Amino acid sequence: MLKDEILKDYETKVLPYWKKLMDQENGGFYGFVDFDLKIYKDAEKGVILNSRILWFFSNAYLMKKDEELLIYAKHAYEFMLNKCMDRKNGGLYWMLSYDGSVKEDMKHTYNQAFAIYALSAYYEAFKVQEALNYAMELFHKVEDTCTDEYGYLEAFTIDWKPICNEKLSENGLIADKTMNTLLHLLEAYTQLFKVTNSLSVRAKLIKILMLFQTKVFNPDKKRLEVFFDKNMNSITDLHSYGHDIEASWLLDEACKVLGDEKISKVTRSYTSILVDTILKQALENGSINNENFLGEVDKTRVWWVQAEGVVGFYNAYEYTGNEVYLETAKQIWEYIHTYFVDKREGGEWFWDLDESRSPQSKKPITEPWKCPYHNGRMCFEINRRMRNV
């Protein structure tokens, strides 16, 4: 059964792996594990990674109510408050050294979004009012500092002066704004609204949903645009398959939390298109290709893309009853289980696989972007959705 297999992977691979990375000496969690599973205790610690770890252990507790998990969540929470947050200027830094000293002091909206997401989850799990207060403080900082008439600015100096957005740009482009940052603000505000029922958060969540509908979704190409200029005009021909299948269910989830029938109907009209486009254009050999850039398909299989594929297609099955979506979710999980899950003792998931289904790139198992957020969330979502099945 899909749920049982995913839970077994979580309990035997994912959860034990991240538990062992807790840094008792310097706080937080070790920031780098190479392909050979060697832990580098003096490696830099990504603030986004720490936020995702805090989110992961908070949701792990919500799923199982195992009191031991509070130890790990609290450890990440205290590191966030004591080391990651800039108490003078507000917001969170980008990168820390192994000992918690600041290595890169820039501020990024994407980074603040993950902190809001994590703090809101920590509050939901453990009812720590301080965490919710910080989440709301960050929400107001983003809305007061990171917005313009077209959407959300992204990259800033330590004292919140706009700078080049190279951190969230790629493929030789520099994008003023990105779908990626907007998507993670969406999930953060969804979680924050869920635990606060705040009218101000609700209004901004609706604003983001409207930006997806009017600026990000491309009805002609049946996809989400990825990189934008300052006026939210798309600047390249890129189809990110993983982000589209991820967005398909995160947009639906935002509408569920809002409880607005009109917004839900409009959003569902194009999230269903995103799912069908991925099914027709990106699915191959029971897994999802990475992306299509300028007409060239990158057939690399990436860990997070597959994890989001399981949730995205299962979500589509839930609201349509179409067995094709269920079978697709099962196929992707089988691919993950067979090829992505690291069978070595102490391993977790490989970062990526080539067309021969081999991790030839030998990318790290943990680094600032390789985290327990996508595969952990896949487990939490499937467990929640299949609880009564």
When pLDDT is averaged across residues 129-155 and rounded to a whole number, the result is 98
When pLDDT is averaged across residues 12-17 and rounded to a whole number, the result is 98
Phi, psi at residue 267, to the nearest 5°? -65, -45
Contact between residue 359 and residue 348 where contact means Cβ atoms under 8 Å apart: no
Alpha carbon distance 168, 228 (integer Å):
11
CB-based contacts of 388: which residues, under 8 Å, 6+ apart?
none
Kindly indicate the confidence band of residue 238, based on its pLDDT and cuts at 50, 70 and 90: very high
Kindly indicate the confidence band of residue 124, based on its pLDDT and cuts at 50, 70 and 90: very high
The whole-number pLDDT of residue 387 equals 75
Alpha carbon distance 180, 370 (integer Å):
16
Kindly indicate the confidence band of residue 61, based on its pLDDT and cuts at 50, 70 and 90: very high
The whole-number pLDDT of residue 171 equals 83
When pLDDT is averaged across residues 193-222 and rounded to a whole number, the result is 98
Neighbours of 56 (CB within 10 A): 27
The whole-number pLDDT of residue 388 equals 52
Secondary structure (DSSP) of 189-217: HHHHHHHH--HHHHHHHHHHHHHIIIIIE
Pairing of strands 107-108, 227-228: unpaired
For residue 150, what are its two tokens? 């077209």
DSSP strands (E only) in 8-154:
45-46, 95-96, 102-104, 107-108
Alpha carbon distance 70, 322 (integer Å):
39
The proportion of the chain whose per-residue pLDDT surpasses 90, expressed as a percent, equals 98
Which residue from 118, 189, 168 is spatially nearest to 377, judged by alpha carbons? Answer: 118
Q: How many domains does the chain have?
A: 1
CA dihedral of residues 126, 130, 132, 133 (deg, nearest 10): 170
CB-based contacts of 92: which residues, under 8 Å, 6+ apart?
47, 51, 80, 84, 85, 86, 107, 111, 112, 115, 138
CA 11 to chain centre: 21
Q: Which single residue is written with the structure tokens 């840094």?
A: 23
Kindly indicate the confidence band of residue 24, based on its pLDDT and cuts at 50, 70 and 90: very high
Write out pLDDT tens, residues 73-107. Answer: 999 999 999 999 999 999 999 999 999 999 999 99
Q: With b meaning 16 or more CB within 10 Å and e meaning fewer, what string describes 63-76?
A: beeeeebbebbbbb
The whole-number pLDDT of residue 389 equals 47
When pLDDT is averaged across residues 348-361 and rounded to a whole number, the result is 97
Write out pLDDT tens, residues 260-318. Answer: 999 999 999 999 999 999 999 999 999 999 999 999 999 999 999 999 999 999 999 99
pTM of the model: 0.97
Residue 347 belongs to domain spanning: 2-385
Helix (H, G, I), strand (E, B) or coil at 282: coil
Average model confidence (pLDDT) across the chain: 97
Q: What is the CATH number of the domain that holds 66?
A: 1.50.10.10
Which residue from 238, 243, 104 is spatially nearest to 184, judged by alpha carbons? Answer: 243
Write out pLDDT tens, residues 158-198. Answer: 999 999 999 999 888 999 999 999 999 999 999 999 999 99
